């Protein structure tokens, strides 16, 4: 079955072979911010680590089984619906680690990862009516990354500002150009600076200028939105399985309850207004202590990035220059 390119029109791959540069955080934060019941979003967790599935979104998943079956046999994807309102997930996990071994014998077995994934994803996207599908990818894993680059319509590359991460961008840029030379439709939307210090303005401008040099010729520029460094909020997002908006709400509620306790009314208040548990994912009822006092700055970075992403997609779709 040939994939209908129109149904893959809004598929965005977030990738960088370098580890720990914010791929998963960006995918799950953007998905959480964009998704609404009337604006559906699909997250495809194409990483054997399964961080988007189990850590950030806090669901059990299927260890990557359905995505693996789709890649290997073109079987339909099993989507976990509404893990948040309007947010669906194709879970990732360790079963995806078999891809390397399978691709090593692809010439003999006739395995075509790209055709299989495109067909399965086109079917899922057509059925789900997604505003956007975001694919999270793991570090390394070249065969799967190459297949994703030949499946997605757009590419977003997160990076930190250290030299090793910037070299990761260069390596990925080469893989991207190769995929395009071989006919892939993927289009680089830009690079996002992650874990950045908003006050280091001179350093940030230098890094963005360097990145624009790396991207020269690709037609893309770096995103003007950066994701600020906020380790306390990052810990909370992952440990408590919260999206940025959920963390802002949980943190405000926790401060309110702390204040109520300090004023001596905590016990009575809590009976009427139970202290919101950070562990508010799908029925969890253990209380998680939040480390972040004010995660709103980080949440507003993600909000701005979501807007910039949707604007860049809209610009690409109308064919206007970025």
Ligand X SMILES: Nc1ncnc2c1ncn2[C@@H]1O[C@H](COP(=O)(O)OP(=O)(O)OP(=O)(O)O)[C@@H](O)[C@H]1O
**Binding residues vs Mg ion (CB under 5 A):** 23-24, 51
For ligand X, the closer CB: 48 or 74: 48
Q: At what angle do helices 201-215 and 163-181 cross, to 10 degrees?
A: 20
Q: Where are the alpha helices (DSSP H) in the chain?
A: 23-34, 65-73, 99-104, 106-109, 113-128, 142-149, 163-181, 201-215, 231-239, 244-262, 266-272, 296-318
Q: Using the rule CB under 6 A, is 33 a contact of ligand X?
A: no
| Neighbour tally for 232: CB within 10 Å | 15
Should residue 30 be labelled a site residue for ligand X when binding is judged by CB under 6 A? no
Q: Do the strands 41-46 and 87-90 form a parallel or antiparallel pair, or are they unpaired?
A: parallel
- The partner in contact with residue 230, picked from ligand X, Mg ion, none with C-beta cut-offs of 5 to 8 angstroms by kind, is ligand X
Whole-Å CA distances, 11 to 69, 152, 171, 306, 317: 20, 5, 22, 14, 12
Tell me whether residue 51 or residue 251 sits nearer to Mg ion (CB atom).
51
Taking the least distance from each CB to ligand X, the nearer of 238 and 269 is: 238
Residues with Cβ within 8 Å of residue 177, at least 6 apart in sequence: 218
* Paired residues of 13 in beta bridges: 135, 155
In this structure, are residues 222 and 192 in contact, taking their beta carbons and an 8 Å threshold?
yes
Q: Say whether residue 113 binds ligand X (CB under 6 A).
A: no
The verdict on 35 binding ligand X (CB under 6 A) reads no
Helices 142-149 and 113-128: angle between axes, nearest 10 degrees: 50
The answer to the question of residue 204 lying near ligand X (CB under 6 A) is no
Which residue bears the tokens 């980080």?
Answer: 298
Judged by CB under 6 A, the chain residues 176 through 195 that form the site for ligand X are 195
Stretch that binds ligand X, among 45-53, 62-70, 206-214, 260-268 (CB under 6 A): 45-53
The item of Mg ion, ligand X, none sharing an interface with residue 258, based on CB under 5 to 8 Å by kind, is none
Which one, 231 or 270, has the nearer CB to ligand X? 231
Binding ligand X (rule: CB under 6 A), the pick from 7, 8, 11, 22 is 22
Interaction between residue 9 and ligand X (CB under 6 A):
no
Distance separating alpha carbons of residues 27 and 151, to the nearest angstrom: 17
Q: Which residue has the tokens 């230098």?
A: 206
Binding ligand X (rule: CB under 6 A), the pick from 7, 13, 23, 225 is 23
Residues numbered 251-310 forming contacts with ligand X, rule: CB under 6 A: 298
**Is residue 159 part of the contact set for ligand X (CB under 6 A)?**
no
The minimum distance between CB 27 and ligand X, in angstroms, equals 8
Of 9, 20, 221, 249, the residue at the interface with ligand X (CB under 6 A) is 20
231 binds ligand X (CB under 6 A): yes
Q: What angle do CA 157, 160, 166 make, to 5 degrees?
A: 70
| Residue 7 or 243 with smaller CB distance to ligand X | 243
Dist CA 165 CA 214 (whole Å)? 13
* 241 contacts ligand X (rule: CB under 6 A): no
- The residues that bridge with 126 in the sheet, in sequence order, are none
The residues, ordered by sequence, that sit 6+ positions from 322 with a Cβ below 8 Å of its Cβ are 219, 220, 221, 312, 315, 316
CB of 139 to ligand X, least distance (A): 4
Residues 139-158 binding ligand X (CB under 6 A) are 139
| Closer to Mg ion by Cβ: residue 20 or 128 | 20
Binding-site ranges for ligand X (CB under 6 A): 19-25, 47, 49, 51, 138-139, 195, 227, 229-231, 234, 238, 298
């Amino acid at each position: 079955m040939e994939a209908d390119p129109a149904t893959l029109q809004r598929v965005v791959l977030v990738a960088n072979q370098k580890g720990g540069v914010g791929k998963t955080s960006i995918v799950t934060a953007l998905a959480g911010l964009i998704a609404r019941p009337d604006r559906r979003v699909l997250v495809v967790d194409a990483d054997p680590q399964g961080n988007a599935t189990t850590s950030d979104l806090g669901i059990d998943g299927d260890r990557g089984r359905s995505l693996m079956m789709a890649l290997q046999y073109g079987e339909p994807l099993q989507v976990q619906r509404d893990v948040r309102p309007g947010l669906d997930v194709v879970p990732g996990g360790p079963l995806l680690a078999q891809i390397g071994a399978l691709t090593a014998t692809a010439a003999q077995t006739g395995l075509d990862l790209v055709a299989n994934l495109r067909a399965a994803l086109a079917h899922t996207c057509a059925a789900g009516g997604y505003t956007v599908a975001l694919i999270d990818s793991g570090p390394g894993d070249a065969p799967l990354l190459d297949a994703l680059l030949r499946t997605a319509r757009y590419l977003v590359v997160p990076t930190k500002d250290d030299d090793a991460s910037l070299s990761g961008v260069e390596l990925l840029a080469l893989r991207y150009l190769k995929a395009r030379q071989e006919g892939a439709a993927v289009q680089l939307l830009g690079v996002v600076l992650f874990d950045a210090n908003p006050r280091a303005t001179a350093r940030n401008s230098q890094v963005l200028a360097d990145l624009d040099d790396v991207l020269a010729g690709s037609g893309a520029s770096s995103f003007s939105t950066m994701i600020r460094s906020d380790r306390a909020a990052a810990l909370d997002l992952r440990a408590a399985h919260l999206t940025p908006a959920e963390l802002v709400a949980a943190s405000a509620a926790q401060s309110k309850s702390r204040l109520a306790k300090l004023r001596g009314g905590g016990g009575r208040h809590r009976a009427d207004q139970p202290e919101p548990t950070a562990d508010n994912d799908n029925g969890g009822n253990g209380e998680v202590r939040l480390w972040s006092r004010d995660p709103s700055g980080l949440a507003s970075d993600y909000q701005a990035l979501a807007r910039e992403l949707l604007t860049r997609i809209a610009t690409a779709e109308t064919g206007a220059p970025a």
